[in-house]
Structure 1
Amino acid sequence: MKKYFGLAFIMAASVSAQAQHRIEKIWETDSVINMPESVLPDIKNKVLYTSVMGNSPTDKDGIGGVAKIGLDGKVIDLDWITGLNAPKGLARLGNTMYAADLTEVVIIDIAKAKVIKKIPIEGAVFLNDITVSDKGIVYVSDTRKKLIHKIEKNIPSVYMENISGVNGLKAIGNDLFIAGGKTVMKADSKKNVTNIAELPHGGDGLEPVGNGDFLLTSWSGYVYYVYANGKYDLLLDTTKEKINTADLGYDPVKKILYIPTFFKKSIMAYQLK
């Protein structure tokens, strides 16, 4: 009997080891996107909205914007929205898009392809990722100031402070999931923080898989699958090729990751296995 239990344990361990997630590359655009930082998929309309920082991630030069790329990697419009300043994170609720544009949040009417409002964030230095809840509350991180700002009814305020390396944000229900340095954490509606996982490298983009797990990119060139129990799989390492992996977008139905490469000026698509 002991032999059978031992064999069953070995087989279970083998199955578990084989169950590790992996990704396979599907396509990559040409290097024509001037420093892409974030991808926001619109699967229904077969569009990937991509933030275009321009020549610098920190300059207020007015040459940033938002591009439209097809789900097949073909360029639709590199100048869909222009005149921004190094925009990074993108979020959407209904027909409204929100862009973290260095020191202000830009609100865009998607149907009209038009900027309809800009909300300055007092004291902001480096607005990075942005997310919007199903109630229309916007959260935006300022990595350099270690802050998360909240915008409710177009009025900004400081929401959370002293979060080292704060970057990726994702609002789900009443919770806010945060990539703060190497830590993935959850803040509930009362701002009680629970740490979910500790990773080897600082997080950039953060996207839910749909079962409590997350996909996370690290700007230097790593992509992780993070389990709800804190464990993780390394899906991609492009550090030797010096390819950055910035704020990803994710299609939870087809299980496809869309990853902007920052300085390489392209978007990569990967199938999650």
Structure 2
Amino acid sequence: MKTLLKLLFFILSISTNAQGIDKSLYAFDFKMEHLPIAERAKLFAKLGYSGTTLRVQSDKQRDILKSYLETKEFTSGELTIPVVFFGFNFSNNIETQNIMWRKTLAALPQGTAMWVIINGNATKEKTLLLLKTMAQEAQKVNKDIVIYPHDNCFIESAEEAIPYIEELNEPNLFLTLHLCHEMRAGNGNRLLEVAIKAAPYLKFASISGTNVTMFANDKANWSDAIKPLDQGDYDVSKFVSVLQKIKFKGKTMLHTFGIEDEPKEHLSRSITKWNALVDSTYKIQNNDLNHILDNPENAYWDSISKSWFISNLGGEKVTLEKDGYGWITRLDENGNIISNRWIEGLNAPTGMASYKNLLYVGDRGVLVEINISTGEIIRKINLPNSEFINDVAASRNGDIYISDTFTNTIYKLPEGGNIEIFVKNDLLEYPNGLWVDKNELIVATWGPMTNRATFETSKKGTLKTINLKTKKISPIGKGLPIANFDGVIKYGPYYYATDWTGGRLLKINKKGDVKEVISGFSQFADLGIDTKKGRIMIPEMSKNRFIFYNLKSF
């Protein structure tokens, strides 16, 4: 059998001149006491740093801050201090510390925020009150308070800080993502997940060279997690890639605590490494298909705009979280990228369909309506009581159908009408893929699910039809179990459906007879078709790529 199969692994999409995240880098001033302040400022500027950060807690440290600000490099604006840090220890005198942090806040120049590390005999209630007081005092002088998660302190990681920010809901309360402290928290392999959660509140990040294996968290020795950026056996490009992926807009600090090398030497090596990391991660992310796509779920062809659209769940996994880290990638008819993230800020977009100039996208709990010409979201239509919105299909008259896999429900958005439940019936056996074929809705089922976490089923799914007028549900053929189906389309007299778990494309006739078209892939997701050419696109979710296949050749 002769087939036409085209795998796309790599696509050049845009110019690589841009850098993505802010390339400026600010260094902590640890182990620089032997240098006069003026010499430190000159060194930072000469090496290409954008400024520094330091501890400002005592009167002496406030004098050091003032000395920095009086140097030529800082008065000219060549260097800045975006943030200073203050450690609040609830085991020490509270009244004294309250006076001290207020002094520090008052000493800060405009544009400089205050980090706070919470330590000692802290509790949730005490910490909430302190952060609220700090934030409200800072608002009076137009300053920001930023939580500094620190290993072996009360708030040790970014995830631990988020509930405090969300509960207080103060407009000037933010957090920081420190690579060293996330490594100590055991998050080295889940940085993207952490960063997605932290992204709405993230103002600063800090980076350092680090090892994979950490010391026990009660050790004062930080040589495992804080090294010059060119040292350590952990691949720090992973951290920079995460910042690129979430489109981090804040400032990044180079952590230097405990580094014994001569400052000029290690700071020089680190900024050279930083510049290379920012450039390389941006190029890879924007020119390597494996990084442009992230859990691609559905491919859809729109004949009017002559564009392919691919929905990306984002986050490197199937998730039900409403995290705002999902997007639509737009391609031309040959699969060349038009826009990496044509529509952003979705949660976990799945199936798509178009009618006239509108693209309809299934997302967590909603149907998203997008103007294809302008690339603007027109509205998000609530899908009441939905749990796992999956595929979307459009009829010729503009009715839109949406499957909710977990609740055995098909929603309908009539042309010019309001959302309604079209069918809700356990006979649907966890409906996934949808396709409108004249007066019938074709449903590719996943199969009765026994474990939502693993998507295991008691039996495989099959193909069914729903009469659009009578709503009668019927099997195609004998309704025998076939596969855990994802997407389905019709071309000629045959149905073509993807077997997600089996990594296959199957051809099925109206009697239910099955023939394997292609196999050997992993997580074949929801396919789309250019019906005029007989050309289909299938995302391979686990590999962050897609294939083109010409059905005329089969």
TM-score range, shorter chain: 0.7 to 0.9
How has the CA–CA distance of structure 1 residues 45 and 121 changed in structure 2, closer, same or farther, with 3 Å as cutoff? closer
Unmatched 5+ stretches in structure 1: 1-20
How has the CA–CA distance of structure 1 residues 232 and 23 changed in structure 2, closer, same or farther, with 3 Å as cutoff? farther
Structure 2 Cα separation of the partners of residues 22 and 104 of structure 1: 42
Structure 1 Cα separation of the partners of residues 397 and 529 of structure 2: 21
Cα shift readout 1:204-239 (whole Å, capped 9, x = no counterpart): 11101033x111001111210111222121112225
Unmatched 5+ stretches in structure 2: 11-289, 448-460
Match of 1:82 in 2: 344
Choose 215-224 or 52-61, whichever is displaced more: 52-61
SS at match of 2:435: strand
Q: Please, which of 121, 125, 131 is the counterpart of residue 387 of structure 2?
A: 125
Match status 1:237 vs 2:217: no
Contact 1:107 / 1:117 at 8 angstroms: preserved in 2? yes
Match status 1:68 vs 2:330: yes
Contact 1:35 / 1:265 at 8 angstroms: preserved in 2? yes
Mark the structure with the bigger radius of gyration.
2
Amino acid at match of 2:509: Y
Residue 270 of structure 1: how far off its partner (Å): 1.5
SS at match of 1:61: coil
Amino acid at match of 2:498: T
Q: Please, which of 409, 412, 431 is the counterpart of residue 150 of structure 1?
A: 412
Choose 224-233 or 192-201, whichever is displaced more: 192-201
Structure 1 Cα separation of the partners of residues 473 and 515 of structure 2: 24
Structure 1 Cα separation of the partners of residues 407 and 483 of structure 2: 20
Structure 2 Cα separation of the partners of residues 135 and 42 of structure 1: 16
Amino acid at match of 2:495: F
Identity %: 28
Contact 1:84 / 1:101 at 8 angstroms: preserved in 2? yes
Match status 1:208 vs 2:188: no
Choose 190-199 or 168-177, whichever is displaced more: 190-199
Contact 2:389 / 2:403 at 8 angstroms: preserved in 1? yes
Q: Please, which of 166, 189, 193 is the counterpart of residue 473 of structure 2?
A: 193
Match of 2:92 in 1: none
How has the CA–CA distance of structure 1 residues 103 and 27 changed in structure 2, closer, same or farther, with 3 Å as cutoff? same
Amino acid at match of 1:72: N
Match of 1:28 in 2: 8
Structure 1 Cα separation of the partners of residues 422 and 303 of structure 2: 31
Structure with the bigger RCO (C-alpha within 8 Å, sep 6+) is: 1
Q: Which has the higher strand share?
A: 1
Match of 2:439 in 1: 174
Contact 2:296 / 2:312 at 8 angstroms: preserved in 1? yes
Residue 158 of structure 1: how far off its partner (Å): 1.7
Amino acid at match of 2:443: I
Amino acid at match of 2:342: W
How has the CA–CA distance of structure 1 residues 22 and 229 changed in structure 2, closer, same or farther, with 3 Å as cutoff? farther
- State the 4+ residue runs in structure 1 displaced beyond 3 angstroms: 21-24, 43-46
Residue 194 of structure 1: how far off its partner (Å): 2.2
Q: Please, which of 111, 124, 131 is the counterpart of residue 373 of structure 2?
A: 111
Match of 2:532 in 1: 253
Contact 1:91 / 1:99 at 8 angstroms: preserved in 2? yes
How has the CA–CA distance of structure 1 residues 134 and 49 changed in structure 2, closer, same or farther, with 3 Å as cutoff? same
SS at match of 2:542: helix
Structure 2 Cα separation of the partners of residues 199 and 174 of structure 1: 24
How has the CA–CA distance of structure 1 residues 172 and 136 changed in structure 2, closer, same or farther, with 3 Å as cutoff? same
Match of 1:183 in 2: 462
TM-score (normalised: structure 1): 0.85
Q: Which has the higher helix share?
A: 2
TM-score (normalised: structure 2): 0.43
Q: Please, which of 52, 56, 59 is the counterpart of residue 312 of structure 2?
A: 52
Residue 142 of structure 1: how far off its partner (Å): 0.7
